[in-house]
Structure 1
Amino acid sequence: MALRIENFSIDSASPSKTARFWAAALGWNIVHDDGEEVTLQPPVGSPEAGILPDLLFLKVPEGKSVKNRLHLDLRPNDQLTEIARLEALGATRVDIGQGSSHTWVVMGDPEGNEFCVLRTLPQAERSAQ
């Protein structure tokens, strides 16, 4: 097949602000920012470099109004520590009707785009990856 995913595009009222949140959250680099489009890439030499698609934040006039149809699931080494860190960066917990019996936590970035912080994997499962 001659196709590959180049980037995930995320609509944003303020692409620079939203991209700065995600750059800090993921430890990725802003490689392009013209005010209308901002591109994030994993750092060179990281396990994600050259494997994961870029994140492209695009300026749009309308605000977010419904639950995302596509979102990121993030796997932390320590779920509670990462949730606290993400909240300090500007993320909030979001209720989309998921209830409280799940092992993941739904959060929203500063513009309300949902993402999930998954459970911490036990050491034995982390070693197997």
Structure 2
Amino acid sequence: MTSRFTELAVDCHDPERLAAFWCQVLDFKVIDRSEGKVEIGSWVPTIEDVRARQMPPTLLFIRVPEARTVKNRLHFDISPIDNSTDDEVTRLLGLGAARTDVGQGPHCGWVVMADPEGNEFCVLRTLAPQGRQVVES
């Protein structure tokens, strides 16, 4: 017997807003919506696909009444695929992210940011081929 990692749930105040932010960051689409919940992903899961092999998990944003009170114990790490890390940080700032300090120090090799509800995430090194980084206009 085994299980599959099918989704990651994120508690939040505004599921629509946070889902829209992460759709823009990750180029995901909304795949399901119900009262107080929005699920996004890069694919639409089917039982057959999930049973056959491990697939990328979806993100499920769920409305909760309480506020976040401490540093996240779990966070997203993202890697730009078609521009530099600095250009990606600039793009994310334009989408509503903010730089944040969780004690990482100035020379850690990644950039710590927070989404519009304050959830920390890290922007890692770029995966763009050298010389093929696209600058967004």
RMSD between aligned residues: 1.9
Whether the aligned pair in 2 keeps the contact of 1:16 and 1:33 (CA below 8 Å) is: no
Whether the aligned pair in 2 keeps the contact of 1:16 and 1:35 (CA below 8 Å) is: no
TM-score when normalising by structure 1: 0.85
Q: Of the two, which has the highest radius of gyration?
A: 2
Alignment match of 1:107 (pick from 103, 113, 136): 113
Q: Could you tell me how far apart the structure 1 residues matched to 2:107 and 2:128 are?
A: 19
Q: Note the 1:1-129 alignment, pairs <5 A.
A: 1-43=1-43, 51-77=55-81, 78-121=84-127, 123=129
Identity across the alignment (%): 45
Unaligned runs of 5+ in 2: 45-49, 131-137
Residue 24 of structure 1 and its aligned partner are, at CA, apart by: 0.7
Unaligned runs of 5+ in 1: 45-49, 125-129
TM-score when normalising by structure 2: 0.80
Whether the aligned pair in 2 keeps the contact of 1:15 and 1:35 (CA below 8 Å) is: no
Q: Could you tell me how far apart the structure 1 residues matched to 2:128 and 2:94 are?
A: 25
